[in-house]
A and B are shown apart, each in its own frame.
Chain A
Amino acid sequence: MSSNNREGILKKLLLRNSKKGRLYSAWIALCIGCTLLLVSVMIWSTFQDILKGKTSQDSLGSTFLTVSKIVDDASMANKERTQIQAQDLVQIKQAPQVQDVGLLTPANFNVSAFMGLGTNTYSTLLFLEAAPDRFMDQMPETWKWQEGDNTIPIILSRDFLNMYNYVFAPSQGLPLLSEQTVMALGFTLTMGEGAHQVNYRAQVEGFSDRISSVLVPQSFIDFGNIKFGANSATTISRVIIKVADPSDKNFTNFLENNHYTTNAEQLRFSKMRSIVEVVSSATGILALLLMAIGALVFILFIELTMAQAEASVQLLLQIGYSPKKLSRFLIRKYIPIMLSALLVAVLIALLIQFFAAQKLSNLQLYIPSIPSVYVWCAVGTSALILLWQINRSIYRAISAS
């Protein structure tokens, strides 16, 4: 007899009580459990991606704060009191939740900008600042400058452009400017005084959500402060810091006690982030629970089928069938069913991730279209745990017969 015939006879004996309705219900329960688990891991992983600011538009996960000393009545007369000294830096680095600190180096020389649009010309005094590259949320390829270069790349705060377009331009009857237009238009920067005056061409290369400033490469600021600066010592008044959890009470107390100020909205937003993190974790726990219930329903279905075939199993063991042989037969029947539930769950998760990526890209939040490695790890781990559990349940049910 071919092994196929034997399989057919064993199927008649062991699976004849396996009702289709029950099988479909167990399959659906397992599939829902797997889907929820994968989607939950996907949500968590995507949220982590956004929080860690892997993308340039990481407004949701901004943990970068610009910190400066509070300007109060006392410090108004004494500029030095608003400067950040070396000992202040050490103190900030050691503050709770602080992961990294970077200096925002200002230009200590006069800068004016000039732009001609047809017959109209516009000019304004300007300030420049530089931040270490590791703190930049925008790093265009052209973000470099060395002595001798006549063009200076600039990254402008997106807030500035918004204020121009929505507040300044309408009130002054000036044209609105899109980001693309601003990036296409060059302007002239004039530095130094008298015979030392030098003109540079400036080009806006990007817009930053992270740092409210007019940013140029650090190399240019270092060069300009020496060449055009009134004195060679550059004073620092603002630092940019990377914080793990800005809503941490210890961190906010540190700022308050040391008279530092920062964007309070960022702190409030971080509380929302903490809440979302808790919700995301709770979703994960709920998903694990549902996955466990789904797996339990499936395993109980197998055990019920086995219990109904107990007399046949007993007789098969009596005529010389080994528990392993019978287990292997049943595992071959149930594993494809289990894997199909997991496969459908993966397909659903893939679709959700794809549509979420499309939807979020409209909100300037960029997430990958395919699930992260964590989701695939969850798929692998779920498959292994389910295989182990099903194998164990079947073997135990047979051995107990």
Chain B
Amino acid sequence: MQLSIDQLAPIPLQEKLRSRPSDIWLQSIVFSAPEYICVQAPSGTGKTTLIHCLYDLRRDYTGKIFWNHKEINTHTPESLAQLRSQEMSVIFQDMRLFPDLTAWENLELKRSLSDSVKEEEVSEWMNRLGIGDKKNAFAKTLSYGEQQRLAIVRALLQPFSFLLMDEPFSHLDNNNTLVAAALILEVVQRNNAGLLLADLDENNFFPYHKTLLL
């Protein structure tokens, strides 16, 4: 799996981009799985915008994004769904859980799409991240930290070649971060996938091959 970015520049940020250098915006870069990339992005530099563009949640940009040599915005809704359920997974900064479903239902909804992970394993992952007792709690009643851990588990419940992460540990303490990062790495390695993490500061959550400044 290959992710290529060519002269990418979000339209709302174009003015700002001319005034400062970036390793990603307006560059031509290729990421190949299983490559681990850290994108260091100070506030306001378009970290979430980058993740959303790569995941095809927004198209207000110039330049091109290719997933496996196919431009992302040329996908049909069906092939995009295929890409999202089989090739790329994401951990959103704002979690994006279904608030009126229980924690378990949120996970099951994702897991049943590909059935690539067993229910027992999901339970084990929840226990590892300390949310095993929250299975029947509605997502909207969970704390941000619990929601973030739930979002992490959900992102791992499908086969993928690239895992995109937008400040995945922003609501977690150090200990929980270490446990969550270990689980992510384990599943990424099992999938022989690449990962791209966007965060505010330099970090060593994963053994990165590249660290790029946004």
What chain A residues lie within 8 Å of B101 (beta carbons)?
Answer: 9, 12-13
Distance in angstroms from A379 CB to nearest chain B CB is 33
Q: Is residue B6 contacting chain A, with contact meaning CB distance below 8 A?
A: no
What chain B residues lie within 8 Å of A321 (beta carbons)?
Answer: 81, 85, 113
Which residue of A9, A317, A324, A399 contacts B109 across the interface (Cβ within 8 Å)? A9
Encoded as 1 (CB less than 8 Å from any B CB) or 0, chain A from 298 to 327 comes to 000000000000001001111111111100
A218, B84: Cα distance in complex, Å:
84
Q: Is residue B57 contacting chain A, with contact meaning CB distance below 8 A?
A: yes
Which residue of B81, B96, B98 contacts A320 across the interface (Cβ within 8 Å)? B81
Distance in angstroms from A324 CB to nearest chain B CB is 6
**1-38 of chain A: CB within 8 A of chain B:** 1, 3, 5-6, 9-10, 12-13, 16
What chain A residues lie within 8 Å of B112 (beta carbons)?
Answer: 1, 3, 5-6
What chain B residues lie within 8 Å of A5 (beta carbons)?
Answer: 108, 112
What chain B residues lie within 8 Å of A319 (beta carbons)?
Answer: 84-85, 96, 109-110, 113, 154
**46-82 of chain B: CB within 8 A of chain A:** 55, 57, 77-78, 81-82
Distance in angstroms from A214 CB to nearest chain B CB is 78
Q: Is residue B100 contacting chain A, with contact meaning CB distance below 8 A?
A: yes
**B100 touching A1 by the CB < 8 A rule?**
no
Chain B: interface residue total (CB-CB under 8 A): 23
What chain A residues lie within 8 Å of B86 (beta carbons)?
Answer: 320
How many cross-chain pairs have Cβ atoms below 8 Å apart between A and B? 60
**307-350 of chain A: CB within 8 A of chain B:** 312, 315-325
**A322 touching B77 by the CB < 8 A rule?**
yes
Encoded as 1 (CB less than 8 Å from any A CB) or 0, chain B from 75 to 108 comes to 0011001101110000000001010110001001
What chain B residues lie within 8 Å of A13 (beta carbons)?
Answer: 98, 100-101
Q: Which label, helix, strand, loop or mixed, suits the secondary structure of the A interface?
A: helix
**A1 touching B110 by the CB < 8 A rule?**
no
Q: Is residue B149 contacting chain A, with contact meaning CB distance below 8 A?
A: no
Which residue of B55, B82, B84, B108 contacts A1 across the interface (Cβ within 8 Å)? B108
Encoded as 1 (CB less than 8 Å from any A CB) or 0, chain B from 189 to 207 comes to 0000000000000000000
**A320 touching B77 by the CB < 8 A rule?**
no
**A1 touching B96 by the CB < 8 A rule?**
no
Q: Is residue B167 contacting chain A, with contact meaning CB distance below 8 A?
A: no
What chain B residues lie within 8 Å of A318 (beta carbons)?
Answer: 55, 57, 84, 96
Q: Beyond A319-B154, A321-B81, A322-B85, list 13 extra A-B contacts (CB 8 Å).
A: A1-B108, A5-B112, A9-B101, A12-B101, A16-B100, A312-B98, A318-B55, A319-B109, A320-B113, A320-B158, A322-B77, A322-B81, A399-B77
Residue numbers of A with Cβ under 8 A of B are 1, 3, 5-6, 9-10, 12-13, 16, 312, 315-325, 399
Residue numbers of B with Cβ under 8 A of A are 55, 57, 77-78, 81-82, 84-86, 96, 98, 100-101, 105, 108-113, 119, 154, 158
A-B contact pairs, 29 of them (CB 8 A): A1-B111, A1-B119, A6-B112, A10-B109, A12-B101, A12-B105, A13-B98, A13-B100, A315-B96, A315-B98, A317-B77, A318-B57, A319-B84, A319-B96, A319-B113, A319-B154, A320-B84, A320-B85, A320-B86, A320-B110, A320-B113, A321-B85, A322-B78, A322-B82, A322-B85, A323-B77, A323-B81, A324-B78, A325-B81
